[in-house]
Amino acid sequence: MSGIALRDVVKRYGKGKQELQVIHGVNAEIGHGEFVVIVGPSGCGKSTLLRMVAGLEEISGGTIEIDGRVVNDLEPADRDIAMVFQNYALYPHMSVFQNMAYGLKIRKMPEAEIKSRVDKAAGILELGHLLDRTPRQLSGGQRQRVAMGRAIVRQPKVFLFDEPLSNLDAKLRAQTRIEIQKLHRELGITSLFVTHDQVEAMTLAQRMIVMNAGKMEQFGTPEEVYHHPATTFVASFIGSPPMNLLMSAPGARPRSVMGIRPEHLDIGEGGWSAQVETTELLGAERLIYARVGTEQIIVRSEEHEIAPAPGDTIQVKPREDRVHWFDAQTGKRM
């Protein structure tokens, strides 16, 4: 089974006084054919984790297995992985065909097999009509597809993606996201995908690893992570706008943080009195920024539901079955 297992994985950079631990014992089992996204803020260690799987960074502690085999001491070329980077790293003087074929050529694969693999990948990625162009003659999205094509032709056990969409504009990013999903459905190759963008993570992942400061905060499906965040960090990182986290709202419990998503605060009679500070119309919905006592809250309402002005008082009521409780000290879900 060509899954990936991370066991107590640790990373330290530097030596002696300069030593800095950036990954603190990560454990995760990624199933055969699964698409897993590693998401977290800048500097949380997600690229480092991916680069350790790739063999581009030494593993300071623990083990990484690919396909049931410990790869800690294997060179990147011997790990049967293919990586797609943010900067596509295409050879500018080679054609699209040559770029996609290059990795197979240096492995001395027969010409006919190379041609058949490149043609097949070009078909899947709709690059067939561009094979004679050089990267300069392509759009950003097309270049990214060539970079993916180069990974596909290798027929690796595992795909590793390091923020591959971050150089594309918003529209192209959404399109390429759909292409990557399609590709995964067709090829079913175990994939690890790094991004700092929670929307990208939610839409692409079968399961996601949420990282914070070198630790794994949660590993679950997008639904689990959204509806049952394991910590206050996950609650505020996933979801836009983030979950309201309140220490002193009416009904608060001692030493606890109450969590309630903006869409789970109903406007109407009863509940909390909230002073409106400002509102934002986003099209079909409106965000209302308000104050309950000393707490700041965000309410998400339907556009037609209510249009309060700054200074207005509205009544908001948390849906009881949608309230989350976290330990105020540890931030963990209770």
Ligand X SMILES: Nc1ncnc2c1ncn2[C@@H]1O[C@H](COP(=O)(O)OP(=O)(O)OP(=O)(O)O)[C@@H](O)[C@H]1O
**What are 332's two structure tokens?**
């963990």
**CA dist 3 → 67, 70, 95 (Å):** 5, 12, 34
How far apart are CB 208 and ligand X at their closest, in Å?
14
Neighbours of 87 (CB within 10 A): 12
Q: Does 264 bind ligand X (CB under 6 A)?
A: no
Q: Does 18 bind ligand X (CB under 6 A)?
A: no
Alpha-carbon distance of 143 to 126, in angstroms, equals 12
Alpha-carbon distance of 104 to 99, in angstroms, equals 10
Q: Does 198 bind ligand X (CB under 6 A)?
A: no
Q: Does 216 bind ligand X (CB under 6 A)?
A: no
Question: Quick one: which of 3, 48, 246, 257 contacts ligand X (CB under 6 A)?
Answer: 48
Question: Quick one: which of 19, 27, 29, 43 contacts ligand X (CB under 6 A)?
Answer: 43
Q: Does 324 bind ligand X (CB under 6 A)?
A: no
Q: Does 20 bind ligand X (CB under 6 A)?
A: yes
Which residue lies nearer to ligand X by CB, 117 or 196? 196
3-state secondary structure of 193: strand
Which residue lies nearer to ligand X by CB, 56 or 306? 56
How far apart are CB 48 and ligand X at their closest, in Å?
3
| Overall residue count recorded for the chain in this entry | 334
Which residue lies nearer to ligand X by CB, 163 or 295? 163
Which residue lies nearer to ligand X by CB, 45 or 55? 45
Residue in 219, 217, 195 with CA at minimum distance from that of residue 207: 219
Interface size with ligand X, residues (CB under 6 A)? 13
Which residue lies nearer to ligand X by CB, 34 or 162? 162
Q: Does 220 bind ligand X (CB under 6 A)?
A: no
Alpha-carbon distance of 102 to 18, in angstroms, equals 40
The b-or-e profile of 316-326 (16+ CB within 10 A means b, else e) is: bebeeeeebeb
Identify which range of 44-52, 102-110, 145-153, 217-225 contacts ligand X by CB under 6 A. Answer: 44-52
- What strand order describes the sheet that includes 4-13? 20-30, 4-13, 61-66, 69-70
Q: Does 40 bind ligand X (CB under 6 A)?
A: yes
Q: Does 22 bind ligand X (CB under 6 A)?
A: yes
Q: Does 196 bind ligand X (CB under 6 A)?
A: yes
CB-based contact 184:191 (threshold 8 Å):
yes
3-state secondary structure string, 284-299? CEEEEEEEECCEEEEE
Question: Quick one: which of 1, 15, 17, 42 contacts ligand X (CB under 6 A)?
Answer: 42
How far apart are CB 164 and ligand X at their closest, in Å?
13
**What are 110's two structure tokens?**
């027969």
Which residue lies nearer to ligand X by CB, 40 or 259? 40
Which residue lies nearer to ligand X by CB, 10 or 94? 10
Question: Quick one: which of 44, 104, 249, 314 contacts ligand X (CB under 6 A)?
Answer: 44
Which residue lies nearer to ligand X by CB, 11 or 79? 11
Q: Does 52 bind ligand X (CB under 6 A)?
A: no
Helix (H) or strand (E) holding 233: helix 232-237
Alpha-carbon distance of 125 to 309, in angstroms, equals 50
- Interface contacts to ligand X, rule CB under 6 A: 13-14, 20, 22, 40, 42-48, 196
